[in-house]
Amino acid sequence: MTGLLYLFALAAGLSAAVSSNSIIITAGIAEIIAGCIAMGLGGYLSGKTEQEHYESELRREYLEVEKVPEMEKKEVKEIFAAYGLDHHAQDLLVDQLSKNKDQWVDFMMKFELGLEKPDINRARNSALTIGLSYCVGGMLPLSAYFFTSKPQDGLLLSALLTTICLFVFGYFKSKLTGQPAVKGAFKVTAIGLIAAGAAFLIARWIA
């Protein structure tokens, strides 16, 4: 949705300031390319950071299990105690768990730190998903200017396409999150149209 809003607001603003669709198309494509790279890179770095954080904590847990096993056993017992297990059950489970270092560390990663091993391809997949989503979202409002001859006509068609997309997105997003679907659809649509309207008015005022 980010690409959709950015490009709609950009195109709306330019429609008030220029008289040629080609200028809007050129600026829009440049923004889409820059946005795809920036958003995709952001997604990639986020995924890499998550993976590096997990690996750093994993090395630390292995070191602690090796160097201070009694302290680690105490932490395991505290976790089991939080689930209502008595001391006898805690001792039994800790003794069994500590016999396998890999399982012990895996347990600590999940239940002490709340970390799951990230997919090794998550950074790449995240970058592709975010970048392509931005591109597709941005091309929707911009496509209106390919089929019209004047910015004003392009803006009207772009507004129609964007309004429909925002409403559909807001509807299904609200439905999936358990919120009132129609109310959520109108809310998302209103936010997008307000952003575009503000850009349009500012551009007209400057021009």
Inside any domain, residue 52: no
Cα–Cα distance for residue pair 82/56, rounded to 1 Å: 26
Cα–Cα distance for residue pair 203/15, rounded to 1 Å: 8
Which residue has better confidence, 59 or 162?
59
Alpha helices per DSSP H over the chain: 2-15, 21-67, 69-82, 87-97, 101-107, 122-142, 151-176, 181-206
Inside any domain, residue 97: no
pLDDT tens, residue by residue, 182-203: 888 888 888 877 876 776 677 6
CA distances from 181 to 1, 5, 137, 159 (A): 17, 20, 21, 21
Exposure class string for 163-194: b at 16+ Cβ within 10 A, else e = bebbbebbbebbeeeeeebeebbbbbbeebbe
Inside any domain, residue 25: yes
Inside any domain, residue 26: yes
Inside any domain, residue 133: yes
Counted domains in the chain? 1
How long, in residues, is the chain?
Answer: 207
Inside any domain, residue 148: yes
Mean pLDDT of 34-56: 89
Mean pLDDT of 115-134: 86
Rounded to the nearest 5 degrees, what angle is found at the Cα of 101, between the Cα atoms of 95 and 105? Answer: 100
pLDDT at 206: 65
Cβ–Cβ < 8 Å for 188, 170: yes
For 175, the token pair is: 């439905």
Whole domain around residue 132: which residue ranges?
Answer: 2-35+128-206
Which residue has better confidence, 118 or 197?
118
Local confidence band at 1 (pLDDT 50, 70, 90 cut-offs): low
Local confidence band at 156 (pLDDT 50, 70, 90 cut-offs): confident
pLDDT at 59: 92
**Single-letter residue type at 123:** A
Rounded to the nearest 5 degrees, what angle is found at the Cα of 138, between the Cα atoms of 137 and 142? Answer: 125
